[in-house]
Amino acid sequence: MNRMIEALAAARIDGTYVRWLNMIAKTPLLIIDDFGLQPLSPDMRLSLLQILEDRFAKGSTIITSQLPVKKWYEYINEPTLADAICDRLTANAHKIELKGESLRSKKLN
């Protein structure tokens, strides 16, 4: 998620923001990894909503997060946008909660 935030911020500056949004909208599968690790700026909240709106019923989106889904509303931290974003993220969603130790530590051994 951090790199996506950085890329979208850079695209706003260099004038390629709409092109980026269109590219993301057309991607068959969007994976947003580590959702909730850093605070969302007001611009990123709006970008996330736009991305999800553009993709709704057109492509699949996978979100991974250490943050429990019940805390996403609080994380987004803007009631109107949180309602809209969470609605689009959870409509027709399949939620899988993993429990136990990290698998990354097992790969290192």
Q: For residue 18, tell me if it sits in a domain.
A: yes
**Dihedral (CA of 25, 29, 73, 9) sign:** negative
Q: How far apart are CA 66 and CA 10, in angstroms?
A: 26
Identify which of 1, 74, 71, 73 has the alpha carbon closest to the alpha carbon of residue 38. 1
Residue 9 or 84, more confident: 84
Task: Inform me whether the pLDDT recorded for 58 exceeds 70.
Answer: yes
Asked, for residue 100, whether it belongs to a domain, the answer is: no
Q: How confident is the model at residue 109 (pLDDT cuts 50, 70, 90)?
A: low
- 34: CATH: 3.40.50.300
Give the residue from 31, 104, 107, 97 showing the smallest Cα distance to 63: 31
The predicted pLDDT at position 32 comes to 92
Q: Give domain status of residue 38, yes or no.
A: yes
| Residue 22: closest CA among 9, 8, 34, 10 | 8
Q: What is the pTM of this model?
A: 0.83
> pLDDT confidence of 74, banded at 50, 70, 90?
very high
Q: Is 55 helix (H, G, I), strand (E, B) or coil?
A: helix
User: So what's the pLDDT on residue 77?
Assistant: 93
pLDDT digits (tens, 9 = 90+) for 88-102: 888 888 888 888 787
Domain of 42 in residue numbering reads as: 2-95
Residue 106 is predicted with a pLDDT of 67
Encoded tokens for 65: 């997060």
Query: What is the chain's mean pLDDT, rounded?
Result: 89
In a domain, 109, yes or no: no
